[in-house]
Chains A and B, each alone.
Chain A
Amino acid sequence: MKSLAGKEPIPGTTIFEGRMAMKGYELNKMCFSFNKAENREAFMANEDAYCARYGLTEAQRTAVKSRDVLALLSLGGNIYYLAKLTGMFGLNMQDIGAQQAGISLEEFKARLLAAGETKNG
């Protein structure tokens, strides 16, 4: 997109723009379906069949299988939709925050608490 042309990438950050939205469309569409309990049950009953129904790529299916959020993001997943997927496995936003930052949940929480103790300036 022209508004992003020439911008330096933001370290550790992906902007969810048109290109990523196209790349992850099927993956996010599958995750959108998890708003309904019966779809969550169908996924849990047969993960491969459910992913196939939505036409996920091989790479996306592998990343879904390993609940690898960074890989899912790089394959076009949007974090709000991925949260519906990881939520099924009991992983909340802090769990997946820690997973992406590559640290333990305790360390992730401690890091946030430490940010709370910073002062201005």
Chain B
Amino acid sequence: MARLIGGVGSSHVPAIGNALEQGLQSDPYWKPFFDGYKPVWNWMEDKKPDVAILVYNDHGLNFFLDTMPTFAIGAASEYQNADEGWGLKPLDPFQGDPEFSWHLIDSLVHDEFDITMCQEMLVDHGFTVPMSLMWPNQKARDQVKVIPLCVNVVQYPFPTARRCLKLGEAIGKAVASFDKDLDVVILGTGGLSHQLDGERAGHTNRAFDTEFLEKLKSEPEWLLKYSNYELAEIVGPQGVEMIMWLIMRGALGNDIQELSRNYHIPISNTAAGVILFENDAI
């Protein structure tokens, strides 16, 4: 059976992609951010997962506002990155695992989650930046098959935080019932607090982010007391992306340990976070 060995929460802003492209990891602006990924790099190097389920949102590359699925899952053998209009160099394609994707979709739909199934899917920086962050080395990255899970956090109404946590739980069940000898990781991306639009652009909220990170392991339900509207006020309209971390967290169950955590303001206009969990139940 497939084993969900761990999960990572991570930011995904395009500026990180630029910094990686230009090799700025040791630059004073970037160092406190990239240093937080060292435990993740070591863990990935040690565990060598076979498959990554990557939870992210599209920012107007694959999906336009004509059709906005709440939850969309890729079921392709390959995912292409492409020009988003403002200059990040497209990365090499990512290898999918369609058999696993269809198993995941089948299991989730029978668990009453209405999933949009995508046999073709372009992946944007929301997907590629976390991939580059987890596996900066192209060769290592090529050895991980991917399943993109795209969440609508662009056009309100978004799925509730509770729905995200429950979807995560259903994903955990689906992975455990896949009859293949595979080590799987799940990545919840986006956030943390940030606001890109309006006169309040540049808003961050260290106290709230810190409490979120603090409670994520033992009390992820803490976030559920806030509606997405309230979250927009507290952490900024784009900070609401942190609900995608709950999908990762829900998938892992409760027998987990937190191996590392880092938090840093600012990365571009955002507060950036990373957290690594290992599944002890495996």
Contact = CB atoms under 8 A, between A and B. Distances in A.
A101 B237 contact: no
A28 interface: yes
Contact of A84 (B86, B202, B206): B86
Contacts of A108: 201-202
A41 interface: no
Contacts of A98: 201
Main secondary structure on B side of the interface with A: loop
Interface string B47-60: 00000000000011
Contacts of B182: none
Interface string A23-65: 0010011011011110010000000000000000000000000
Contacts of A32: 60, 64-65
A116 B201 CA distance: 15
Nearest to B228: A3
A112 B200 CA distance: 12
A115 B265 contact: yes
Interface in B257-272: 264-266, 268-269, 271
Contacts of B65: 21, 25, 28-29, 32, 78
Interface of A: 1, 3-4, 7, 10-18, 21, 25, 28-29, 31-32, 34-37, 40, 69-70, 73, 78-84, 87-88, 92-94, 96-98, 100-102, 108-109, 111-113, 115-116, 118-121
21 contacts: A4-B229, A10-B233, A11-B200, A13-B198, A13-B236, A16-B154, A21-B155, A25-B65, A28-B60, A31-B85, A35-B60, A35-B83, A78-B154, A79-B196, A88-B86, A100-B199, A111-B202, A112-B266, A116-B264, A116-B266, A118-B265
